Chains A and B, each alone.
Chain A
Amino acid sequence: GQNIDQPTEMTATEGAIVQINCTYQTSGFNGLFWYQQHAGEAPTFLSYNVLDGLEEKGRFSSFLSRSKGYSYLLLKELQMKDSASYLCAVRGPWNQGGKLIFGQGTELSVKP
């Protein structure tokens, strides 16, 4: 089975940096994804890690440690529009369909 944990909610200040952690336990691993979801809207892709290390993409970076079953999403220079839910997802092995299993999401509130 798969178990993915992330904090339920976080609050940060506009212009600051915030780190959202995700830990996972899976029977197979084929990559870790981060999505952003505004209330009532579709999740949109932010980043992907399959090897250990840091992937940087503008104001967003994501880190993966496969041995620790741990990832984080780092958001820099926070803007009000970054207030959203951030979803960590693990892709299972292709012989099981390669499905994406999501954590419960972290609701981030950015305050002025």
Chain B
Amino acid sequence: GDSVTQMEGPVTLSEEAFLTINCTYTATGYPSLFWYVQYPGEGLQLLLKATKADDKGSNKGFEATYRKETTSFHLEKGSVQVSDSAVYFCALIMGAAGNKLTFGGGTRVLVKP
């Protein structure tokens, strides 16, 4: 079945450091890919998405590029802030109606001042 694998956390960084969270997927077709962010005590918010190969999703300084050849969707940010401390989830969904999102296990990021 479809699956998403994320790097395990926690990832601890200093403010203004470069962040990368690796995400790879296994799917039988060409899924849409998502990154969600969860701040402490809150629900998940959609951070960015990409629906086809070579698409780049971007939002709030975060970027991720849909790489079909490596089945990856790595999340990057050039200069993190303390407010970026959160849990980040990679997810995929296949295009047919009725399919459900498949989530990775989440990666906790802690940014220290």
Q: Are A and B part of the same complex? A: no
